[in-house]
Structure 1
């Protein structure tokens, strides 16, 4: 600060010593304030008042006249025209420097636009938009069939609360050497530890051994909604596959009662907003596994939102919409393999569960595909049960809270809620109990 205000003080001293005679002689005269100099760290772009650099005009070829260029000079000459050289052909294909074919020249190019939902699509309207795209009716809370598993004391682990808190401490504290670990490190560890706790129930329920976890598989499902062609495609979360499918959660009367349900519109927003528009695509319905795979039925999808940067992170509403779209995609791909591509009301609905977390908040979902007739909004709808924003704990204190050298708040987990893991375990045991 002394260096910054030094010249000002010296100027003020000079004015005080050599100022003109009068009432102001001997008083401090402050120098006028001027704006700080513009630096690359404070502003962007040229300073105000700077004339914009005009673009070099494109010289058109006049028929009958030959342009005189500086191609023969092999250096720039300002009063001669710029030469136009043909594109250089290196004589062999370079994968990095090859422009590639145009979209219109690709074999899978189609005039009709397809709207694709992939793993990074953030829907503006969230669950409401996903309900309209999948022709689904929303029911708050978990279905009674799953709640009956929660209420049964025999479906719980020994020392369950202690083991779950140890799993949280392992992911947030013991697994890392950092004081405050990042999401990318502790979120996958927490999910794997919770799944491992659920897997220990296999000694009581042997049918749990007939399941397997699949990673990095690709699902593809195509359907028409109104006048739009839609696809769910690409990588998604960890999938728990089973040898036997899940039984329908809703009864036939509840399925038929969905005919009177009206889907909620969100005008003036278009339903396909935030979906990727592509013209090069293939209309596929693929579960991601080959024919004859011993675990062909999707049981539960696990989603982990572990982005460290907040702009790239999915909000809870967007995460629930993503869970719904991919649960619907897995169910639709399986239904079209079993019952064909003709739109119809399914005799045996397909059920797929989904669990999402960002390390502290859990989202639970049960989706039941009742129909593949998705063009119009009339008739039987699909069903989804969502139990949203379930906090497993409030926060974790990594260091003790001291007051006058006395530990007032010891390190550990605060605000732990045991009911959240009970729901997690109930969805895992669904179909085996």
Structure 2
């Protein structure tokens, strides 16, 4: 490019250029491998002529240029899973013509909470149930010295275990959640009923349901779970459940209700809560979820709340079918599951009460969802202050600590034990 510009300028000025004076002009071009117009060489398929046998170098066991390339049968190593090749979907035993849609922990619902409410046929109620609010306000159930303990837990997760100015959320988010759960477990001596629970990590769930002639599934490993020997009591009375009949589900038009869900044709409709028969803690209590915190799968607060609804709903459906059978529509006893989600700073609290499994239409009794989201535990955390033009924008340490968020966290944990 530089040589062509030099030649053009010389010819424009009336000077002899390299082309007219007999001098060699070097041209600068990109390597052949970097050109976009160069297509990779494709191997030609051997031509098959009926009645003629191709002479190959298979018997000689080495390459001969003037002989044809032999075609050997595909090597199969059945004993090594690394070399296993999945057959086509149409040849699998579980293949079905009707497609279904799968929600897994990595799904980010574009419609957020609105889409989750439509899929689960639920009615949203802002705020926490009255029973949990009473636990927050009752002085008899106050967590002793919780402000100092929670402040130390935040410092341990975000400040004390690192020398960096800003710690990655992938590190401090799960550690903060584990520290808060550890504080709650220290009260087992004060409340003996809390000892009748167990903590399950990497909880696996599989459930399915039909809605508007479409099959939906929930699959995958979903955060952590607290299980109890006794189930949570229903939060809404029979009259409140019947009052949900006039409620109309919000439409997602022009979006499809299955947007962002994985479409599959190879599936099996099953309900597995992840526990074997005889497990001493068979009842779901609270599901704890953390925001993935990665750049590729980062969840917005609305998408995290939708994920909480979907996973709690899947666990409630699987548990209801285990208790009352596969064909039950109206549940004799509602199933209640709690959920807590966080990204390391904001906490979301949700309670779901499953009232019905009749998803053939949007009419009739609805399920209930109580949601209290965007509850910040603190405003900022920094190892060093951020100063701009002699003004402290972000102070060092923990700023804007809100202990009332932990009070709700403690009330959700204590629910069902008092």
Could you state the TM-score of these two structures normalised by the residue count of structure 2? 0.85
Rounded to whole Å, the distance in 2 between the matches of 1:407 and 1:364 is 33
Change (3 A) 1:123 1:200: same
Change (3 A) 1:179 1:342: same
Structure 1 equivalent of residue 285 of structure 2? 299
CA displacement at 1:275 relative to structure 2: 1.7
Give 1:210-221 correspondences, 5 Å limit: 210-221=196-207
Structure 2 equivalent of residue 369 of structure 1? 354
Structure 2 equivalent of residue 87 of structure 1? 74
Structure 1 equivalent of residue 17 of structure 2? none
Match of 1:250 among 213, 233, 236: 236
Change (3 A) 1:386 1:38: farther
Change (3 A) 1:408 1:325: closer
Q: Is the 8 A contact 1:183 1:306 kept in 2?
A: no
Q: Is the 8 A contact 2:204 2:273 kept in 1?
A: yes
Secondary structure at the residue paired with 1:259?
coil
Secondary structure at the residue paired with 2:110?
coil
Q: Is the 8 A contact 1:240 1:300 kept in 2?
A: yes
Change (3 A) 1:70 1:300: same
> 142-151 or 237-246: which moved more?
142-151
Match of 1:320 among 292, 295, 305: 305
Match of 1:159 among 145, 149, 170: 145
Structure 2 equivalent of residue 378 of structure 1? 363
Rounded to whole Å, the distance in 2 between the matches of 1:142 and 1:340 is 30
Q: Is the 8 A contact 1:135 1:377 kept in 2?
A: yes
Structure 2 unaligned regions, length at least 5: 1-5, 15-27
Structure 2 equivalent of residue 197 of structure 1? 183
Change (3 A) 1:104 1:409: closer
Could you state the TM-score of these two structures normalised by the residue count of structure 1? 0.82
Rounded to whole Å, the distance in 2 between the matches of 1:210 and 1:291 is 18
Match of 1:185 among 171, 179, 182: 171
Structure 1 equivalent of residue 339 of structure 2? 354
CA displacement at 1:180 relative to structure 2: 2.7
- The CA RMSD measured in Å over matched residues stands at 3.2
Secondary structure at the residue paired with 2:408?
helix
Q: Is the 8 A contact 2:119 2:257 kept in 1?
A: yes
Q: Is the 8 A contact 1:149 1:426 kept in 2?
A: yes
Secondary structure at the residue paired with 2:93?
coil
Rounded to whole Å, the distance in 2 between the matches of 1:231 and 1:322 is 13
Change (3 A) 1:292 1:101: same
1:277-318 deviation per Cα after TM superposition (whole angstroms, max 9, x unaligned): 2333322112111222221111100011243x3222222222
CA displacement at 1:46 relative to structure 2: 4.2
Matched residue count: 397
State yes or no: 1:140 paired with 2:126.
yes
1:230-252 deviation per Cα after TM superposition (whole angstroms, max 9, x unaligned): 11122101111111111111121
1:362-391 deviation per Cα after TM superposition (whole angstroms, max 9, x unaligned): 111000000011122111111101111111
1:28-87 deviation per Cα after TM superposition (whole angstroms, max 9, x unaligned): xxxxxxxx9979xxxxx9446x3545645545534345556666784374x876543322
Q: Is the 8 A contact 1:343 1:374 kept in 2?
A: no
1:159-188 deviation per Cα after TM superposition (whole angstroms, max 9, x unaligned): 221211111001111233444322222112
Structure 1 equivalent of residue 48 of structure 2? 61
Q: Is the 8 A contact 1:243 1:295 kept in 2?
A: yes
Rounded to whole Å, the distance in 2 between the matches of 1:38 and 1:261 is 66
Change (3 A) 1:76 1:365: farther
